[in-house]
Structure 1
Amino acid sequence: MKKFHGTGVALVTPFTESLEVDYKALKKLLNHTAKGADYYVVLGTTGESPTISSEEKKKILQFVKDNNSKNLPIVYGIGGNHTEEILEIIHETDLKGVDAILSVSPYYNKPSQEGIYQHFKKIADASPVPVILYNIPGRTGSNMAAETTLRLAAHKNVIGIKESSGNLEQCIKIAKYMPKDFLLLSGDDMLALPIYSIGGHGVISVLANPFPVIFRKIKEFVQAGNYTKAAQELYKLSDLNGAMYEEGNPIGVKYVLSLLDICTPLVRLPHAPASEGLKKRINTLFEQIKK
């Protein structure tokens, strides 16, 4: 699974002024992120997947496949809180050219650990491609315990986890006991380096949309054993990171991408565009990074 070592870019979905999918901007984004990406993550939460229709999802996935200039691996988001519906989506989706799916722990239902395990077991049994688990308690309302992750890691079709719990002790437990070929991926940009340091394999990143080269350098310095220089790269983004989520993701990162003339800052409801106050703070922080 070395194809998923390093940086996976959680791609945003660019929109036109009329809030249609902007494929011209998406191609620009693919070319830009290819400067540092090791793989693409298509239609995760950062891609505003809850507001993208099933027909749009098919077109976006196909577009990424057709415009993947470096032939990078593709991870595609298929998850939810209705297990049987997810199985239907897996069955109906053309996963040819997709290297793995990323599936979020069930949200809102707040299932038990046994429920989470059985949910993912069914998905892993049904999926024709490998499954990467996604734990993000801040969105789902429930945490997937390390013990549940490790139990699922024994499944031959479960290859890793995107850990966004922010709980380093939980991540350390996974790192300590996970199978040799299991992937531990940070779901938090600012924890990318700590996750690398405990034996993790990289990050699925929001800020790699505008700053792919910084994440490439972090990976390269880690591989060279130079954590001091890797930290210096990460520090470049530490002040900006909080602003990315202040009004919801991907509002902040889309505004940064608009400053780079890659796409508009527009988002679909229920998200609202960045406030003037947030824009002003991001402008200041962005100029500091450019120096």
Structure 2
Amino acid sequence: MGEQMDMALLRRLIDGVLLTLYTRYTAKELPALCERLGLPAPSEGSTKHERLVASLKACPDDRLQDVADAVLEQEKLDQAERMALQDVLWLGRHNVQIPSRTRRELARDFDLSAHLGYPDRFMALLGRLWHLDNDPLGGWTATTNSLRTQIERHVIRFPDDWTTEQFFEQLGAFEAPHPRFGYFLESLASSAALPDEPAQRRFVELASTGLHRPRARSKPDEEAGTPVRHGAAGVLAVNGHRAARWSSGCGSAAGRWSPGRSPGGWGRTETSRVRSWGWRMVRVWKTGVVPGDRVTS
């Protein structure tokens, strides 16, 4: 279940993005930019930045979520900016809580060797959800101490260097907001990261064992006699109820994961509320699924 969305923080984050955006567009392009992002038409002002700031101030709170979604979908952002916006949005929407203890138990259980057989897919997955290029001197020195470099060395090239628990620790997965950790698990279970169906089944079963205790269950779709397979549409269910859906065409040819608002989002059923780890992946298999930003109903 979602928290009260911090609209003041969301507005500040969008304002920070506008501070960068105004440099990418000419004064004549500002009206079209505001229209695309769902902001009021910019008023006259002495500078482009002042015009965008005035437009944001004129935007009511009940439209800020749509503006943030549009920014995430359409504009190139620094990963730290992207994650900050995502976290505010996702925490304010229905989500499932997975406690730190459960996360650590999952990490101890997980064997990611099958994922490492697809290193490009694995790194692309991590790059969408975590801040990997976090070395402030990365562009100024021949070597870098970024998280990306450390993972490539200690997880991919020398997989015995770090345990999965150490890897999760380095990512910040144990302290990450609940929605981000949930999307991380879903992405690890998807064919976008793990196209090998038997390996995918084994991973989902491991997740099932950790999440079940005793209320969570994660499994490939067997309801219609359909095994986990490439290219099939999927849904995430909470306590057996539909909660969200995969969608495509959201600014990416590969498709994106769309955390939905109620109805159709992470959610509460009519008879019971979502509990910690009280969810199960019924279908987790769409080629090219990416944890994304656009909301679908």
| TM-score, with structure 2 as normaliser | 0.31
Task: Select the structure that is richer in strand.
Answer: 1
| TM-score, with structure 1 as normaliser | 0.32
